[in-house]
Amino acid sequence: MNNEEVIEILIKCGVLMEGHFILTSGKHSDKYVQCAKLFQNPMYSEIISSILAEKLKKYDADLVIAPAVGGIILSYEIAKQLNVKSLFAERENQMMTLRRGFEIAKGAKVIVVEDVVTTGGSVNEVVDLVNSLGGVITAIGSIVNRSKNNSVFPYPYEYVVQIDMESYDKEECPLCLKGSIPYKPGSRK
């Protein structure tokens, strides 16, 4: 499957939207990414995840882990396709931690996945957690790379698509200047 076919699926699922949006940061953009929409549709989610699983196969992991909530289904899907365990990390008193009896053995080879990587913040918290438990990170994976570079992590990083998103302060938003009204996805109005 080529990049255009992937983008076509992401648009069809509502993952990638074009228009005039208010981002979580408060900035405005002409694009919006909502990866949860992919996982609404198990068939497309399996197809897109298989592209990532194929790229991650060579890293020979014992388990896959993701930060909750965004990465949970992706971790499960990748682990299923690599035939290894799937875990997720979640915050407890702001600290990324393993709960629910999840364990990472010392020396276990670990792939960390996340649906969308922007700054790599929550992935890096999971990386620190895995390292603190003695796990060995072999790679990072995501469906969407929004980071504008491929070296946000000091580990091999594989992703399905890179999406460049410009964002603007609302005073300088070219769409607002043209008189367009921005929309905040996920809000009720």
Provide, rounded to whole angstroms, the least separation between the CB of residue 71 and Zn ion.
Answer: 29
Q: How far apart are CA 47 and CA 37, in angstroms?
A: 14
Provide, rounded to whole angstroms, the least separation between the CB of residue 119 and Zn ion.
Answer: 22
For residue 56, what are the contacts with CB-CB under 8 A and spacing of at least 6?
A: 78, 82, 111, 113, 139, 141, 158
**Which pair of structure tokens corresponds to residue 1?**
């499957």
The stretch near Zn ion (CB under 5 A) out of 59-67, 81-89, 107-115, 173-181 is 173-181
Which of 14, 120, 156, 182 contacts Zn ion by CB under 5 A? 182
Which of 44, 176, 183, 185 contacts Zn ion by CB under 5 A? 176
Provide, rounded to whole angstroms, the least separation between the CB of residue 173 and Zn ion.
Answer: 3
Q: One-letter amino acid identity for 69? A: V
29 binds Zn ion (CB under 5 A): no
28 binds Zn ion (CB under 5 A): yes
Q: What ranges in the chain are assigned the alpha helix state H?
A: 3-12, 36-39, 42-56, 72-82, 121-132, 174-177
- Kindly state the number of chain residues that form the binding site for Zn ion, as judged by CB under 5 A: 5
Binding mask 127-166 toward Zn ion (x if CB under 5 A, else -) reads ----------------------------------------
* CA-to-CA dists, residue 33 to 17, 117, 145, 184, angstroms: 6, 11, 11, 12
In contact, 117 and 147? CB cutoff 8 Å: yes
Residues forming contacts to Zn ion in the complex (CB under 5 A) are: 28, 173, 175-176, 182
